[in-house]
Structure 1
Amino acid sequence: MTPSNVLPWLALVTFGAGWGAMQPANKIAVEGGFEPFGIMVWQGVVTLILAGALAARMGRPKGRAQWAICAQVAVLGTLIPHFASFTAVTHLPAGLVAIILSTIPIFALLMGLALRREVLTTARAAGLGLGFVAMVLIAISRGDVGSGALWAVAVGLVAPLCYALNSTLLAGRGMAGLHPLQAFAGAAVIFLPVSVMAAAVTGQIKGIGADLPSLAVIATAVGHTMIYTGFLWLVTVAGAVFASQTAYLVTGFGIVWSMVLLDERYAPGVWIALALMFLGLTLVRPLRSRLAPDNGARNTVRGASPRG
């Protein structure tokens, strides 16, 4: 294997490990007193600075169509899913939230089937069923999940649903000529003031200090922006099908990081759910996979980025 072929694999593992670490980091933040809108304020600040700087040479979004794409990414890729994830991780172990996020490809397949862009095979139908069973096992594992298991799992599922819908819409309509980084920065222009207003109204604004929860908030914001940028690079050099395999690694690393950093331990039912989810993802994944650019890479980020 040549160095040019090794690099995408190293990037895949690095991005999976980085994104997986964000779930326990989010748990540290909420347990340290940060609330969903308060976290989103600081994420918006960091995203606007970093993504804006990276996209500066490309220019700002222009026209109603491009700003509509930015608004879509802001709402479906950030505001709703981030609020859902931060709320869920307040009541669920971080490792379980990582498993829940791995349902993105399953939701994406269901939407593709509804729009007749995907084909339902026996294997894919089995994968959908396994994913459903995995979620049921998580919901009934009350010893691990704690009180309010069913509603917390339901809230957690809102995030992957939004990510899948955002990807499906972008794949079908395109990005109105926007580079993904432009859309990412433009989305921050929209969701930052909304987050500030929501945090002010709900009393969730919280300053950043030198304590561990504050560092966790900044680390996840910087990490997400940089890793997402790297993910876009990976899509261009290896294709969206290859890059979508990040979903497997995010879930696996999310479990491992949660055990190491938070000392989380899980009942046998949760491990069974993890195994079923991995098997289900294998069955519903795209029917072709190759280490080369594909049409999705040339147009937009298709598939399952764990974060919007």
Structure 2
Amino acid sequence: MEKPLPQVNLKLIQTFMLVARHSSFRLAAEQSFRSQSAISAQIRQLEDQLGVPLFIRTTRSVRLTPEGEELMERSRRAMHEVESGLRAIAERADARRGRVDLSCSPTIAGGRLAPILAAFDKAFPKVEVSVRELTFQAMYESIRRHEVDFGIGPCVPSGEFDFEVVLEDPLYALVPVALAGGRKQTIGLNALARMPLLMLNYATALRGSLEDAMTQRGLTWRTRYEFGQAHTLIATAAAGLGAAILPCVALPSHLPDELRQLRIVNPPMGRQIAIITSRGHKLSPASQKLVQLVRDRFSGHD
């Protein structure tokens, strides 16, 4: 039968590692705020339990024996595993409490955010979540100033930020039936430019990309009304006042009978929606949980 292992106190291993790290009983005593004699007594106790000497002591130096070197190497690995386990447990606990601050573009907030927040609140009821619904310039500024942990919105390439694309968001026109001309499902920029347009205001990245595309094709257009909220555009289009230009995420699940939903083509128009953070910024455990939920919901995995 194998000889039973000695019941070694973890405190003795910690003291042994401290002496080995400093190659000094005196420095180990100073680091641990104990007397040198107490350190020596603990090392003698450990050596007695193991039945081997761990240090070679002289008047000038303290160095490990071969058995001491082996114990030091294995103790390092064991302590690393213990520390990793404790850190993982603490991070899981942190994910169940704390606070998450995020900023979000209005079209995303209105179209996708509510069910994500509801699911997160159910899973992590002790985490406080603060949401800022901001235009894209203000959203990027809030991330730049570290006022929020992350943002959800359109990609605007910049070396200051990291982007994780979670959604391709095509652009649509909601056209009154009287202007739609049959039951087609797409519309080109040439046809769109001939209609009175209902647009999101200039504070949105979407507005700029659409107008740039029209300008590049030498098109002229008339913006009849502009608003800051998607539901206002939809209501105005349903009243027959023009074609509302909106991203897919902002479209209603049930379209009013007065409107046709036409995807913009020639060229296809759209944007990428991303999780946006300051470059190199590490998210808290609670923020990571919310980000994972955003990934799942936007990709349709949950």
Q: Give the TM-score of the pair, scaled to structure 1.
A: 0.20
Higher helix share: 1
Higher strand share: 2
Q: Which structure is larger by alpha-carbon Rg, 1 or 2?
A: 2
1 or 2 for the larger relative contact order (CA 8 Å, sep ≥6)? 1
Q: Give the TM-score of the pair, scaled to structure 2.
A: 0.21
